[in-house]
Amino acid sequence: MNKVTKAPHFTGNLPEHLQQVRRLLEKHAMATAVPPQQEIPGAERQELVDILLQKRHLNELQDKLDELYPSDIAFILEALAIGQRLLVWDMVKTDRGGKTLIKISDAVRGSLIAGMSQEELRLAAGQLDTDEIAALAPDLPQSVMRDVFKSLPIEGREQLRAAMAYPRDSIGALMDFKMVVIRADVKLATVSRYLHRFDDLPDHTDQLFVVDRDDQFKGVLPLSKLLVNRPETEVAALMLTDTLTLRPDDKAHHAARIFEHYGLVSAPVVDDEGKLLGRVPANTVLDFIRVEAEHDVLHLSGLQEYEDIFASVWKSAKNRWLWLALNLCAAFFAARVIGSFSDTIEQFVALAALMPIVAAIAGNSGNQTLIIAMRALARGQVTPGNTRRLLAKEFSISLLNGLVWGGIAGGFAYVLYKNWPLALVITGAILLNLLLGALVGMLIPLTMRKFGHAPVIVSGVLLAAITNSGGFFIFLGLASIFLIH
């Protein structure tokens, strides 16, 4: 367990690095694009100059890339179009390919792996720790994984098998095995001597993990305690035993919340029998939180996942289909509702102009309720005891907003059409549809709470479908009762 990676340290600013790489790529492209001028005397010399020029830019580019960390390279690769991306990738994949593949987004990883030989993939995987190999495994061909597995020492094989057995959203999948383990019955001086045998400590080592002879987890010794206390003190006297432990089967969300909440740097992972399995470092959790937050934003906008903006039209189009298909169904249902009132509209065509207002405003308002309710549920703020009160509150807000904005809409309608009954119908319809939006916005997450993390993408479409069709039905229904004689 004394495998060690270098802590990244950073000079300068990422967009600036990206700019420099772009400039060098353009210079190289321009040098390459000059046609060999065979008619002119001395053409051969000219050609040679061109080739040297191309080489110089490529060398400069290689130098530039050599000073970057894998996460920088990942960032830059994502920002480059396919041709340039593969050129840069060729220059880094041999020595930093593995770490870069770990850092890059799912959408772009495929485009890089597709162009690599089995041998190159084996080399890339060889640069990784077992927990990282496990993370990359779904994207690697089976035959490569078999070879990688065979090349590992027994301990590594066991770790890899363990890490791959956990689902992607579990603590087990975030866990790594790079930790420093000590015994409780030794003095701090002994611990210090032990640490001197390392070349470096693993990243995010803020504490040492204390276990007994059977690998049973006993507690943690923060480095700060090691540093401020007297060397003759025993570990047992200083170690924290009431520290948080994670289980490999826990949801990764759970760890994310705890790391955020307590600002942890690392946490031990322990199995049901109390055996120390590994640790979760903060950077892995941070990555997980970032990706999750991004997914929420993408799902709210009807995208299934983040797109490689340089990917093919076909691939991007498919990423957007689920949402469009759902919405088309909902829109058709709404169209059927309107269609059933075609006599009413024929008699009073102003209804056609005003009905989208009723649908739109309730859709927005219901969406607000939906998000508030989803957040409150996720934070455990909603209990069986206060659900009714919260529903009453959302209804009151909708009542208030219905009177205010429905009233304003009614006023406008009167100015346009000089028809009091019409103005009252639109005010009433907005009020009723806002109440419907609040009801649906609360009920969707309450009904879905048993599924854990509620599927944002479906909730939004469902809400829109109900407030649209409902709005048309309420408005045209009221109109056919009160306006058509």
Q: Which of residues 314-333 bind a copy of itself (CB under 8 A)?
A: 314, 316-317, 320-321, 323-325, 327-328, 330-332
Asked if 452 interacts with a copy of itself (CB under 8 A), we say: no
Asked if 5 interacts with a copy of itself (CB under 8 A), we say: no
CA dist 132 and 125 (Å) reads: 8
Please return the burial class of 253, using the count of CB atoms within 10 Å of its CB with bins 0-12, 13-18 and 19+.
middle
Binding to a copy of itself (CB under 8 A) within 184-203 occurs at: 192, 195-201, 203
Token pair recorded at residue 454: 């509620």
Give whichever of 167 and 339 is closer to a copy of itself, judged by the CB atom.
339
CA dist 408 and 415 (Å) reads: 11
Interface with a copy of itself (CB under 8 A), residue from 88, 468, 474, 478? 468
Interface with a copy of itself (CB under 8 A), residue from 3, 15, 151, 189? 15
Rounded to the nearest 5°, which phi and psi values hold at 234?
-85, 150
Q: Rounded to 5 degrees, what angle do the CA atoms 251, 256, 261 make? A: 130
The DSSP code for 36 is: P
- What stretch of H or E contains 279? strand 276-281
Annotate each residue in 329-358 with x if it binds a copy of itself (CB under 8 A) or - if it does not, as one string. -xxx-xxx-xx--x--xx--xxxxxxxxx-
CA dist 337 and 322 (Å) reads: 23
Give whichever of 148 and 432 is closer to a copy of itself, judged by the CB atom.
432
CA dist 139 and 120 (Å) reads: 14
Asked if 259 interacts with a copy of itself (CB under 8 A), we say: yes
The DSSP code for 216 is: B
Binding to a copy of itself (CB under 8 A) within 140-159 occurs at: none
What does each C-alpha distance from 82 to 86, 116, 276, 309 come to in angstroms? 6, 14, 44, 10
Asked if 130 interacts with a copy of itself (CB under 8 A), we say: no
Binding to a copy of itself (CB under 8 A) within 391-410 occurs at: 393, 396-397, 400-401, 404-405, 408-409
- The CB-of-146 to a copy of itself minimum distance in angstroms stands at 31
- The CB-of-126 to a copy of itself minimum distance in angstroms stands at 22
Rounded to the nearest 5°, which phi and psi values hold at 379?
-95, 5
N-to-C CA span, the chain: 85
Asked if 429 interacts with a copy of itself (CB under 8 A), we say: no
- The CB-of-394 to a copy of itself minimum distance in angstroms stands at 8
Judged by CB under 8 A, the stretch of 39-47, 87-95, 165-173, 289-297 that binds a copy of itself is: 289-297
36 φ/ψ sector (left φ>0, alpha ψ -120 to 50, else beta):
beta
* H-only helix segments in 229-339: 235-238, 252-262, 282-300, 313-319, 321-339
Binding to a copy of itself (CB under 8 A) within 70-129 occurs at: 71-72, 75, 78-79, 81
Give whichever of 160 and 308 is closer to a copy of itself, judged by the CB atom.
308
Binding to a copy of itself (CB under 8 A) within 354-383 occurs at: 354-357, 359-361, 364-365, 367-368, 370-372, 375-376, 379-383
CA dist 330 and 2 (Å) reads: 57
- What b-and-e string marks burial along 37-57, b requiring 16 or more CB atoms within 10 Å of the CB? eeeeeeeeeeeeebeebbeeb
Asked if 236 interacts with a copy of itself (CB under 8 A), we say: no
CA dist 439 and 366 (Å) reads: 8
Annotate each residue in 25-64 with x if it binds a copy of itself (CB under 8 A) or - if it does not, as one string. ----------------------------------------
- The CB-of-145 to a copy of itself minimum distance in angstroms stands at 26
Asked if 237 interacts with a copy of itself (CB under 8 A), we say: no
- The CB-of-221 to a copy of itself minimum distance in angstroms stands at 12
